[in-house]
Amino acid sequence: MALWGNNDNVGSGGTVTLDYSTRIVTGFNGVGGAAGEAGSGTTFGQTGFAKTGDTISFGQHGSGTYFGDAVIASIGSTLQVTIASTAGLSGAAIAGVEYTISEKPTWCPTDTHWSAVRDTAPTINKLTEGTTTGATGIGSLAVEFDISAISPPVQVGDYLVNGLGLTDGTENFEIKAIGYSTAVAIATCITDDKVFRAEPPDWITPGTTTVGLGTTRPIVNQVGFVTADVGGSGVAIPKGSLVVPVKEILTYHLMVGDVVNIGAAITDVAIASIAHTTVSLASTTPVNINVGTMISFSSSTFNVFASAGANNDEAIAIGDSITYGEGQNASAQFPAGGNDVIQLDSAITAAITSGLAVTFRRSVNGYDAYVYGVSGIGASSALASSKQYITNAGWVGVTTYLDNLGNLRVKKETLVAMSGITTGNAPAYPPEYDA
């Protein structure tokens, strides 16, 4: 029996069950099964499939549940094999699970360094506290902080703990972005829009710059506010009118219930209906509207009007999102700075008040060691990308863990350097490439 081969993608259809006491791995018989039998389609011993000396991996490493590896000692049938040892397995029950077959080095499953028994999940420990600078309502994805005052600084991947209304304080929200936030998807949009409406973050203020929608970086004029020109009609509108013409009305996405403001006066006259070139009001205009007068429309809904600008050169569609960022904290995404805001992975379920001390947590420790088959193509591709993934072709052991500061550490060891590795099993390494 060879100590290793060059195939990390041996045929492995179906699911299996393991009896720890007998070390027998069983696939389904195709007739409904008996006790200890689960899954279907195993083809042990057939040409191109599992053979004696191959490694069987139970579960899916990197996603779902991974139970570990074992070397196949003997094959009884297409439905049954016996493994040499259970030392490389986690000890958890294996019943009806997927599996993969590879020709990785036979000593790996019993080597304590590469055994799944040594793997541990990260723990989430307290990092620091920060004080909110604004109130955040239920359902929000963004929370306001003076980011510069949080020490040690938080980073993407850390967790914010919102313990309000909870007894154990374990509601952890993962931080997805720092210094900027993304609004809910755009609700209305047509070709040549001057403005579009979307749901803003809680902290949005007039004049806030947005990114991700064209080179002009559209600006939020004001929450629920947009200005339209009625001068295109060429006709003055006398006091007491119920109908007001609006130039290029469709590009402003006005809605029934929006309030009309004429000149500097806030009139609080609501829109009753909308036509192609005019709006009908719920009550009459209290002042004259001269030719060229700028009128404003404000919204009582949660919609925000964002101005796209005349030079916007990127197509905007319904469902696109607006990302907001402005202020003192510079970043790669926002060289000029970003708002003192932290975006979370999901909406908060309990309101957060301004001036509240909030706990931040970080994943630390955690340990994972796994042997990958790396093809020549995969190694070459990795060389041109992130140094984290640079490795030789062959059978490569990769150890990942989080240090005490929550930093990801990756260590690689080439166990067998060789060309001609056939890969395809998940997960692939390097992770960015299909080797």
Q: Which residues contact 223 (CB under 8 A, 6 or more apart)?
A: 200, 204, 205, 206, 304
**Is the pLDDT at 1 greater than 80, yes or no?**
no
- Position 165 scores a pLDDT of 41
The larger pLDDT score, comparing residue 85 to residue 254, is at 85
**Is the pLDDT at 417 greater than 80, yes or no?**
yes
Taking only the tens place, the pLDDT of each residue in 136-188 is 888 778 888 888 888 888 888 888 887 654 444 557 888 988 877 776 677 77
- Position 123 scores a pLDDT of 75
Q: Mean pLDDT, to the nearest integer, of 344-363? A: 85
The larger pLDDT score, comparing residue 331 to residue 244, is at 244
The larger pLDDT score, comparing residue 19 to residue 202, is at 19
Q: Mean pLDDT, to the nearest integer, of 238-253? A: 84
pTM, to two decimals: 0.50
Say which CATH topology domain 225-298 has: M1 Pyruvate Kinase; Domain 3 (2.40.33)
In the structure, what pLDDT confidence band is assigned to residue 251 with cuts at 50, 70 and 90? confident
Taking only the tens place, the pLDDT of each residue in 68-99 is 999 999 999 999 999 999 999 989 999 989 89
**Is the pLDDT at 362 greater than 90, yes or no?**
no
- Position 113 scores a pLDDT of 87
- Position 428 scores a pLDDT of 67
Q: Mean pLDDT, to the nearest integer, of 412-428? A: 81
Q: Mean pLDDT, to the nearest integer, of 359-387? A: 74
In the structure, what pLDDT confidence band is assigned to residue 201 with cuts at 50, 70 and 90? low
- Position 170 scores a pLDDT of 58
The larger pLDDT score, comparing residue 228 to residue 358, is at 358
Q: Write out the residue limits of the CATH 2.40.33 domain(s) in the chain.
A: 225-298
- Position 70 scores a pLDDT of 96
Angle among Cα 89, 93, 99 to the nearest 5 degrees reads 65
In the structure, what pLDDT confidence band is assigned to residue 39 with cuts at 50, 70 and 90? very low
Taking only the tens place, the pLDDT of each residue in 287-311 is 888 877 778 887 766 566 666 654 4
Least confident of 2-11, 372-381, 406-415: 372-381
